[in-house]
Amino acid sequence: MDENLLKTGDLSLTLSWPTDGDGGIYSCRVYNRKGDVLMEKQVWLKVKVQEQVEVESGVESVLLPCRTTESLDGDVRVEWMDDRDRKVHVYQNGSDQPGEQNEFYRTRTKMDENLLRNKDLSLTLSWPTYGDENLYSCRVYNRKGDALIVKRVQLKVKDPEQVEVESGEESVLLSWTITKDLDGDVRVEWRDSRDKKVHVYQNGSDQPGEQDPSYRTRTKMDENLLKTKDLSLTLRRPRERDRGIFTCRVSNRAGVIRRMKQVALHVKGQWFKCIFPIS
């Protein structure tokens, strides 16, 4: 507030780096010594998202832009966070700090190596899925922890491919065929929306021991998937509780995700007509 507000009569409030969480009605009240309200004013603050990015589920990467015109010295900390306060990417002391990342984002983010010189703080997020739809914040702090720059970007991910089947059908196919070659040292993993392992392929063969018990003996993939590039999953005897988003990830030995796709499965329930004899 104005340091000389009693003299200037200016009771305005400056709020630094407003976010959508700051939106709402603010009240300014002036009291006398007895506690009587002498004056009151209300201001409604509405905070708009600075930028919105929309992308298809399963694309190789998406760029969350954040550029500045201000000069940045080497003694700054750059943090990307999502709206659940998870650390998406951290840069400090001249390099990335992957140990501070939330594991959900580990190996999937990248920033400009010369970000201080180029003043480009944009974040590249690899293999965005429906679960990445979020409001992301880019914050730059000085050594004291004061925020120098704050920018927010809304990421919207379009709905994944939809597959519909009747409960009780013999099987349903969650299809995915790729065009790029796969070497033998990859891991292919299908997971459901509850993060249960549906099917795992590694070292040239299926790994049924890693499957969640609810899917054991109910899944199948192409035996020659490395050659055919067909990563589709056949799910036998689909039931209503199987519905949800299934995610297939292809990663290398180091755990870095190379490809990803999501398929939304909708299983319709069956209705049975029962006829009871009348005695």
Structural domain boundaries in the chain: 51-157, 161-268
Distance CA 194, CA 246 (A): 9
Length of the chain: 279
Cα separation values, 118 from 133, 140, 170, 267, Å: 28, 15, 57, 50
pLDDT band at 13 (very low <50, low <70, confident <90, very high): very high
Q: What are phi and psi of 44, to 5 degrees?
A: -100, 120
| Strand pairing class (77-81; 134-141) | antiparallel
pLDDT at residue 15 tops 80: yes
83, two tokens: 């709206």
Q: What is the pLDDT of residue 221?
A: 96
pLDDT digits (tens, 9 = 90+) for 173-210: 999 998 888 887 899 999 999 999 999 999 889 999 99
The mean-pLDDT minimum among 25-29, 40-44, 131-135, 186-190 falls in 131-135
pLDDT at residue 214 tops 60: yes
Q: What is the pLDDT of residue 274?
A: 46
Burial class (CB in 10 A: 0-12, 13-18, 19+), 250: buried
Nearest to 248 by CA among 214, 206, 199: 199
pLDDT at residue 273 tops 50: no
pLDDT band at 278 (very low <50, low <70, confident <90, very high): low
Q: Can you count the helices (H) and strands (E) in the chain?
A: 3, 20
**Class of the CATH-defined domain 161-268:** mainly beta
Summary mean pLDDT of the chain:
89
pLDDT at residue 275 tops 60: no
Q: What letter represents residue 88's amino acid?
A: V
pLDDT at residue 40 tops 60: yes
Q: What is the pLDDT of residue 143?
A: 87
More confident residue, 72 or 91: 91
Task: Give the pLDDT mean for 131-143.
Answer: 91
Q: What is the pLDDT of residue 279?
A: 47
Q: What is the pLDDT of residue 49?
A: 66
pLDDT digits (tens, 9 = 90+) for 223-252: 999 999 999 999 999 999 999 999 999 998
Q: What is the pLDDT of residue 248?
A: 93
51-157 and 161-268: same fold?
yes
Could you tell me where the beta strands, DSSP code E, fall in 51-157? Answer: 51-55, 61-64, 77-81, 87-92, 95-96, 109-111, 123-126, 134-141, 147-157
pLDDT at residue 277 tops 70: no
Which of the four CATH numbers 2.60.40.10, 3.90.1150.10, 3.40.930.10, 3.90.1280.10 does domain 51-157 have?
Answer: 2.60.40.10
User: What are 66's strand-pairing partners?
Assistant: none
